Structure 1
Amino acid sequence: ELARYHRRRLLDKFVKEGQSWSKARRGYELTLGLQVNALSMMAKWVGGAFVHRDKKGDPGDRLPIQVVPPEQQRAALDFVIQNAFFDEAFDLTPELLSHLRAERWWEEQGTLEDPAWPVHDRIMGIQASVLTMLMNPVTLRRIYDNELYTPANQDVLTLPELLEKIKAAIWSELERRPDKRYTARNPMISNLRRNLQREHLERLIDLSLPEADFGAAYKPIANLAVAQLRELRDRIAPLLDTKAVENLDPYTRAHLSEARLRIEKALDAQFIYNAPSWGGGLGGILILGQPPEQ
């Protein structure tokens, strides 16, 4: 909320009469810093645990390791999702972007810096960092371990819940059918969201691959990633294989076509890797065209 408050005042209040518009760019970058700091702080609660240095017999009898209550983890996760994965979280408008120019510094060969603010690169960088905070092997392993730290009759944030919440938020456009004709100027899935979906898809593929070894937690994580890839493939299909495709804009149609192709190749790689070796002297597993082990 603090970042949004300052963003609303950038053009009217923050930049004074006679000052360079480059100050608006510096101001917006400052608000992004506030936003990233908040996201980083809240993401640490997901899969977290309190470590108490108490000794036996100390007052309170606290557990040495106590998993963060699930309602607090869910609140932190919801905060991160709402403030990182949706376009509205960044308050970008054509008017604001048009004012976010850099100071021009000249060298013999010309300008040193592009005066325009690199909107896609900057937002994608933040969203990719947040995905890393939530889907890195350490966090996923901790969430999986926390399930054993908590009695079975008590609530806990689980791996399926975490991955499903992330997927549902990032791919929410797949929940609706295009009931009007979209265009390149008014796409069904926005520029920033397409970039985010592509990044999330790559994370799922990485988690599903055999070489993505996370120790004992690898297999359940990989299984869940494969299940999500299949679900995404099945949700994309009705948009591309029915008359709904006629309403898709070129950007969204190309994006979803590429996403489905990437998913199918990843699932094929899983099938090849896990295929049994039935006699015939193969003597091993064939992995993506590599010669079989003898």
Structure 2
Amino acid sequence: RDVFDPEDTNYCTFRWVTSETAFAMSCLRANPMTGEMIDGDVIFDASFIKYWKQSYALLIGSTTAVGGEPQAAPLAFGEVISPILASKMGFGQPAAKALLGVGALDKPFGQMIPEVVPADQNYLQWQLAKNLARGTRGFCQFQTGFRHDFGLAAIALADVPKPEPPKTEKDKEKDKDKAPKKPEPKPELPEEFIGQAIKHIVMHEVGHSLGLRHNFKASTMLTQEQLNDTAITRSKGLVGSVMDYSPINIAPKGKKQGDYYSTTIGPYDYWAIEYAYKPVDGDEATELKKIAARAPEHDLAYATDEDAFLNDDPYVNRFDLGADPCQFGKDRIALASELLKDLDGRVVKDGDSWARTRRAFGILIGQFGDGATLASQYVGGQSVSRDHKADKDARDPIVPVSGAKQRECLKFLADNILSDQAFQFSPTLLRRLGAERWMHWGNDSGSGPGIDISVLERILGIQKIVLGHCLSAETLARIQNQQLQADSGTDPLRIEEVFRSLTDGIWSDLDKLPDQKDPKAAKIALSTVRRNLQREYLRRLSSMVLGDRSNPYSDIFSYIVIIGGGSSSVPADARALARLHLKEIAGRIGMVLETRSASLDDTTRAHLEESKHRIAKVLEANLDIKEP
């Protein structure tokens, strides 16, 4: 043909485009009469390679009466502290708001339910996303996680410059005769990484063009030990399907780096394509049933978009990698902790702005949030499958996570998230988290509101992820239900263990306070991180006891820390345990105030006295008659 047009259905095209928002998209067209796919194209934005994009968030409300489309009225500005939890809650996908469990009667008259969208989306992009989500099986958010991933890769793979030894006067004289040094090139991501990332994205989008849906359980195909074995990954990939949102594979410290992303399609992809496209002679239904009967095979695990939203399966996630998502979270927290030690040296060269340090800090804090999310999901978690009866190696539709694994994750959370020791940052680093105000088309250097970063708000936000999950009515009810699902001789987790683990971890300081008898000795102080966490824990226990149902939006945005800024009916046993633990905490506080009050600093003493007073008021209050 003399005229080429990528819109022409005679051509399947791959198009590079340039915009200020990184994305890739599959454009699929089908015959409306038969459903036959007649054209598939992939659009790939070159901005994917700009890896310092920051995931801010806007809470968008409405000024329009019920029945009309909402106007973009910002309610608050926030920052995503757990990209994995954000994706589960529908961040960037406006249609997901209906799945948040907030009914029509809960919203104020004349107002739409607040929606959470990326701050880098303008109003037009927001409306386009809404329309796309309404008319398709799933709205692809791969680009949201990839931006975050590229930032992490830039930090982790950067070479840290070694400090030069001090020069003598003789050395300085020699330097005068030398030609001036050329400026060092800025560190770039390895070409192998870029190539594998682009290939993985293209395979994902071509999969959509062939009719494949997302598969968010495919990332569990390989064990953590197998992920960097290229003899395995080059033959069947890092994940069971390229239709998962798989993150960059970064080898733990001391291990050889393998592939960064899957370099080939996975076993599930071959299987799904076989089912959809294999020419069949004879009885098609029988042949298709035979192919589908392979579903219980480990490498063919499957869970799609509906399974990912607010699910109870800890193995269904976006942006996780490996058979044990909890271990993946642990590894990412360890990686972030290591990178934070020399962060400013990794991301900022002499003569450059400190702005990258702020953005890099936010990316690494997100690793703590993701670790908290992945480990929390095991508490009350259950693996879900759709195997048919009599399939070979068929699993039960619901298999609770073992009690031992749930306890392991609870202990990890108590030791590494509900602790101030896990969040130790260099004062020098925190002074270098300045804001950037230089923004234009093609430059994504905006830093959001405020000059400094409220580190304490971010830490508490991460800790709220744990409390929000472990103390939610759904989780506690599910743990109780798992008592009935457990076979004789097993040891399922009990809800009293959850309360005990949280109380002992959060209030352990009261048992460790030294006995200061010397009046001249330094006063004993609980850290601000501990005081904030203890207040939040008391608030949640109090809400259980009082039956607080006043705020239907209390925790639906728990993955966002609102800058500057009730629970539903819980099992009756949980309410009783909450009362018991409040009484116990009050008793422990009273003992400390009785015996060591003089050795406490004023803020710590005020905190403990206020906590004791609040507990007393809660225990004296009447129960909400709406609760059982």
TM-score range, shorter chain: 0.7 to 0.9
8 Å contact from structure 1 (residues 178, 247) kept in 2: no
Q: Is the 8 A contact 1:22 1:100 kept in 2?
A: yes
| Separation in structure 1 between the aligned mates of residue 533 and residue 355 of structure 2, nearest angstrom | 28
Check 1:182–1:267 CA distance in 2 against 1; reply closer, same or farther (3 A cut).
farther
The reply on whether 1:21 has 2:357 as its aligned counterpart is: no
Shift of 1:104: 4.7
Equivalent residue, structure 2, for 1:172: 508
Q: Does 1:200 align with 2:537?
A: yes
Q: Answer whether contact 1:160 1:224 (CA < 8 A) is retained.
A: yes
Q: Residue 150 of structure 1 corresponds to which residue in structure 2?
A: 486
Q: How far off is 1:229 after superposition?
A: 0.3
Aligned residue in 1 for 2:436: 103
Q: State the shift of 1:159 in Å.
A: 0.2
Deviates more, 1:136-145 or 1:125-134: 125-134
Whether 1:258 aligns to 2:610 is yes
SS in 2 for 1:50: strand
The Cα of 1:128 is off from its aligned counterpart by 1.9
In the TM superposition, what is the alpha-carbon distance from 1:273 to its structure 2 partner?
A: 3.9
Counterpart for residue 282 of structure 1 = none
Superposed CA deviations along residues 264-283 of structure 1, whole A, max 9, x for unmatched, are 000001xx449xxxxxxxxx
In the TM superposition, 1:62-211 aligns within 5 A as 62-104=395-437, 113-151=449-487, 153-180=489-516, 187-211=524-548
Query: CA offset at residue 182 of structure 1?
Result: 10
SS for the counterpart of 1:89 is coil
Let me know the Cα RMSD of the aligned residues.
Answer: 2.6
Contact 2:368/2:462 (8 A) holds in 1: no
Q: Give the direction of change, closer, same or farther, for the CA distance of 1:24–1:253 in structure 2 (3 Å limit).
A: same
TM-score after normalising by structure 1: 0.82
| CA deviation string 1:135-163 (max 9, x = no partner) | 11111111111111113532011100011
C-alpha distance 153-72 of structure 1, shift in aligned 2 (>3 A): same
> Which consecutive residues of structure 2, in runs of 5 or more, have no partner in the other structure?
1-333, 440-447, 550-566
- For 1:15 and 1:33, locate their aligned partners in 2 and report how far apart those are by CA, in whole Å: 20
Of all paired residues, the percent bearing the same amino acid is 36
State the alpha-carbon separation in 2 of the partners of residues 208 and 151 from structure 1.
32
Q: CA deviation at 1:129?
A: 2.7
> Equivalent residue of 1:90, what SS?
coil
Cα drift, residue 54 of structure 1: 1.8
State the 1:46 CA deviation: 1.0
More strand by share: 2
8 Å CA contact 2:372, 2:462 repeated in 1: no
Contact 2:354 2:434 in 1 (8 A): yes
Secondary structure of 2:421's counterpart equals: helix
Does the 8 Å CA contact 1:3/1:34 hold for their aligned counterparts? yes
Q: Kindly tell me: are residues 182 and 93 of structure 1, through their superposed partners in 2, closer, same or farther at Cα, counting changes over 3 Å? A: farther
User: Could you say which residue in structure 2 is the equivalent of 1:226?
Assistant: 579
Q: Quick one: distance in 2 between partners of 1:135 and 1:223?
A: 13
Tell me which amino acid in the other structure corresponds to 2:618: A
Report the secondary structure of 1:66's partner residue: strand
SS in 2 for 1:32: helix
Alignment of 1:24-39 (within 5 A): 24-39=357-372
Structure 1 residues 123 and 177, CA gap change in structure 2 (3 angstroms): closer
Structure number with larger C-alpha Rg: 2
Q: 1:113 to 1:105 in 2, by over 3 A?
A: farther
Which runs of 5 or more structure 1 residues have no equivalent in the other structure? 107-111, 275-284, 288-294
Q: How many residues are treated as equivalent by the alignment? A: 266
**What is the match of residue 202 of structure 2?**
none
Cα distance, 1:123–1:211 mapped onto 2, change above 3 Å: closer
Match of 2:601 among 249, 258, 261: 249
Higher helix share: 1
Q: Secondary structure at the match of 1:87?
A: coil
